[in-house]
Copies of this chain bind each other. A is one copy, B any other.
Amino acid sequence: MLADGSTFEKVGVNRFAGGGALPSEMAARLGSERAQGLEVEFFATGVSVVCHPRSPMVPIVHMNVRYFQLTGPDGEVVDHWFGGGLDLTPTYPFPEDAVHFHRTLRRICMQHHPEYYDRFKAWCDRYFVNIHRDNENRGIGGIFFDNLRPGENGELDAEAAFALVRDVGLAMRVAYGPIVERRRKEPWGSREKELQLVRRGRYAEFNLVHDRGTKFGLQTNARIESVLMSMPPSANWGYNLTWPEGTFEHRLHQMLPPRNWADGVPDEFLTPVR
């Protein structure tokens, strides 16, 4: 955990690796058909990173890679799969940053499988949604995937899937790093900070109400400070906030519905805002 840095107010890095006998209610959730009716042991490992920048000009980034494995009574692997993702949650609307982020992810995914970017991008758009906020997306998306079973139904084999997941983890540096570099020195004031705190409130709502990993942690009595390391350092809740057209706050909200950012900046975002 990094706290109170000059660029990042809070960065959480969570590594996990563990296993044991698979609790039956967990087996049902995992949806592993191959493990049904078997006494299995599970092994799970992964890394999560959440960066909450101090400046509202720098977006929040979230990365997660994970691997899950079920073994039978003789230690043989009964089922196994990968999951992962990388997504961006901006406060100040820079459409060109969303384009850079998605183009980088598309390029990296394309190195592994021709269909993965489109599939994982759409999955991310469906997953990071505050349903209770009239289906508002948490940010401008990225990629998200789960249950990638190596070699099944045309998926990559185990070694290639691991290479993909590794690249998703490393993608943070190239997809996010340049955005941090070019935005961290940009000036901002109380209006930008205020919007950041509101967006952090939405971030907190998604994590506590919808995020599967967090909900699972809350229900299974996991170490709470690890489960909630993704929470923003601070957040605000206003009442019935709206912003007039032509403001940067309004523009940010126009950027949230899913778009094909990798295709470039949409025309409607070429008009200036203030």
Report which A residues bind B (CB closer than 8 A).
1, 3, 10, 12, 132-134, 197, 201, 204-205, 208-209, 217-218, 221, 224-225, 227-229, 231-240
Question: In whole angstroms, how far apart are the Cα atoms of A12 and B233 in the complex?
Answer: 24
A223 nearest CB across to chain B (Å): 10
Once the chains bind, are A3 and B238 in contact (CB under 8 Å)? yes
Q: Indicate whether A224 sits within 8 Å of B132 (C-beta atoms), given known contacts A204-B204, A208-B208, A231-B237.
A: yes
Question: In whole angstroms, how far apart are the Cα atoms of A205 and B225 in the complex?
Answer: 13
Instruction: Kindly list chain B residues whose C-beta atoms are within 8 Å of the C-beta of A225.
Output: 239-240
Q: Is the interface of A mostly helix, strand, loop or mixed?
A: mixed
**Given A232-B237, A233-B237, 7 other A-B residues pairs in contact with their CB atoms under 8 A:** A1-B240, A3-B239, A12-B239, A132-B217, A225-B239, A229-B239, A231-B237
A253 nearest CB across to chain B (Å): 15
Once the chains bind, are B239 and A133 in contact (CB under 8 Å)? no
Question: In whole angstroms, how far apart are the Cα atoms of A218 and B12 in the complex?
Answer: 28
28 pairs from A and B in contact (CB 8 Å cutoff): A1-B239, A1-B240, A3-B238, A3-B239, A10-B239, A12-B239, A132-B218, A133-B224, A134-B224, A197-B234, A201-B231, A204-B204, A204-B235, A204-B237, A209-B209, A209-B218, A225-B239, A225-B240, A228-B237, A229-B239, A231-B237, A233-B236, A233-B238, A234-B234, A234-B235, A234-B236, A234-B237, A235-B236
Instruction: Kindly list chain B residues whose C-beta atoms are within 8 Å of the C-beta of A134.
Output: 224
A237: nearest chain-B partner, CB-CB = B231
